[in-house]
Amino acid sequence: MNDAPFHVAVGDGLALVTVVGSGTGNALGGSFWEELYAFMEDARRRDDIRAIALTGADGTFSVGMDLRWYVVRLRRAQRSGDLSFMDADVRLLQQTVSAVANCPKPVVALIEGECTGAALELAGACDIRYATGTARFALPEAELGVVADLGGLQRLPQLINQGHLRELAFTGRTIDAARALHIGLVNDLYPDAAALRRAARELTEDLRRHPAHVMEGIKRTLDLIHQEDTRRSLDYCARWNTVHTGPDGLGQTMAARLRRPDAVDDENQLHSTTTP
């Protein structure tokens, strides 16, 4: 049985990364974070990869962080008395999302179904976002008593205006694909998954007409404008959640969420309820 957190297919310059995560709804837990970081670091050096497309398996981009996996990590930290765990762990996850943003190759997110929380922050780190009409987006970390801390609040302002972002972050509401297109969260909508993949291949063909160093130069120039502010804000957010929530508070909130009678429905609203 293949339990890899994502599958990679490389052809004609495009690396198609299909996320399966650690549980239902392609929840982001387990080895996903370390392995995606390693892949992005490897991809930046590969001449056969000119562009990367991130997508999810079975009609869902991702329901976000795997809560059961993360609760187990928090409980281990509590038992060990490691007060620095939450801060250090968040920075490791931030590192992976930043590796997507900082990759010198253009990265496109192909989004079907749910794209929630950490998944939206991951999509926000991509250069381009294509979606189907089934896509829906939410940033519901406030419901867990934390500030979204993987880069959404830092990178999404480069895509959508402050009013739309603040509404998403303050309320945790879900928006549909039509509104996401209207506010600029996604570049374009496509009828189905096959059309998304065709769009990614066509994009890659366009990119291959230009030298790779030009693509890298464009990315680095655009990122340089706000890179230092992003770094400082990520650092501030990690420290804020550690001080104001901490592993005890977050672990209790996540566990309570998983015990709710409607927890099964919540995996389509917030995060995963899979076993660790």
Task: Say whether pLDDT at 114 is over 90.
Answer: yes
pLDDT number for residue 259? 55
Which residues, at least 6 apart from 274, have a Cβ–Cβ distance to it below 8 Å?
Answer: 22, 23, 24, 27, 29, 66, 68, 69, 267
85: pLDDT strictly greater than 70: yes
Average pLDDT for residues 36-41, to the nearest whole number?
A: 98
Phi-psi region of 246 (alpha: psi -120 to 50; beta: other; left: phi over 0): left
CB 142 within 8 A of CB 169: yes
For 230-255, the pLDDT digits (tens) are 999 999 998 888 887 766 666 556 65
Nearest CA to 15 out of 198, 201, 199, 207 is that of 201
Q: Helix or strand or coil: residue 97?
A: helix
Confidence of residue 269 (pLDDT cuts 50, 70, 90): very low
CA dihedral sign of residues 129, 26, 34, 93: positive
At residue 120, the pLDDT reads 98
CA atoms of 187 and 246, how far apart (whole Å): 37
- Whether residue 46 is predicted with pLDDT greater than 60 in this model: the reply is yes
pLDDT single digits (tens) 127-178: 999 999 999 999 999 988 889 999 999 999 999 999 999 999 999 999 999 9
Count the neighbouring beta carbons within 10 Å of the beta carbon of residue 63: 32
Q: Are strands 136-138 and 175-176 parallel, antiparallel or unpaired?
A: antiparallel
Percentage above 70 pLDDT, the chain: 87
What's the pTM? 0.89
pLDDT digits (tens, 9 = 90+) for 72-84: 877 777 777 766 7
Please state which of the ranges 88-97, 103-112, 164-173, 194-203 shows the lowest mean pLDDT: 88-97
pLDDT at position 272: 35
Residue 169 in contact with residue 149, Cβ under 8 Å? no
Q: What is the C-alpha separation between 108 and 93, in angstroms, rounded?
A: 20
The confidence score (pLDDT) of residue 143 equals: 87
Confidence at residue 87, expressed as pLDDT on a 0 to 100 scale: 83
Please give the pLDDT value at position 249: 62
Return the pLDDT at 242.
81
Mean pLDDT of 50-67: 96
Average predicted confidence (pLDDT) for the chain: 89
Identify the pLDDT of residue 28: 97
Give me the mean pLDDT over the 17-27 stretch: 95
Beta strand ranges found along 60-203 (DSSP E) = 107-111, 114-116, 128-132, 136-138, 175-176, 188-190
